[in-house]
Amino acid sequence: MAREKAWAVAFARQLASELPAAVLDIPDGLGLTHRQINQLRVAFENRLVESMGEDSDETPATVANRIASGGS
């Protein structure tokens, strides 16, 4: 079971990592700032992880701050 959860989390992160590029493919990027796009990516990733049965305690704001300060 732990192996499946780890795979699901990795898959959710990989899928969510494509969201910023998809947003930027839309003319004017939906009018979102880079920070908002990162917050959307994190919220989407968290939603995927939660729906796969693994909770995430990160919020879009904390992850956006982590990314803005050079984290991944």
Global model pTM greater than 0.75: no
Q: In this predicted model, what pLDDT tens digit does every residue of 14-44 receive, in sequence order?
A: 999 999 999 989 988 889 999 999 999 999 9
**Choice between 35 and 53, residue whose per-residue pLDDT is larger:** 35
Name all contacts of 44-48 with Cβ < 8 Å and 24+ positions apart: 44/16, 44/19, 45/12, 45/13, 45/15, 45/16, 48/11, 48/12, 48/15, 48/16
Query: Does residue 1 or residue 4 have the better pLDDT?
Result: 4
CB 1 within 8 A of CB 48: no
- Determine the average pLDDT of the residues in 39-51: 87
Q: Report the alpha-carbon distance of residue 17 to residue 23 in Å, rounded.
A: 11
Give 55-70 pLDDT, tens digit per residue: 455 566 666 777 777 7
Write out the two tokens for 47: 């939603």
* Domain parsing of the chain, residue ranges: 2-68
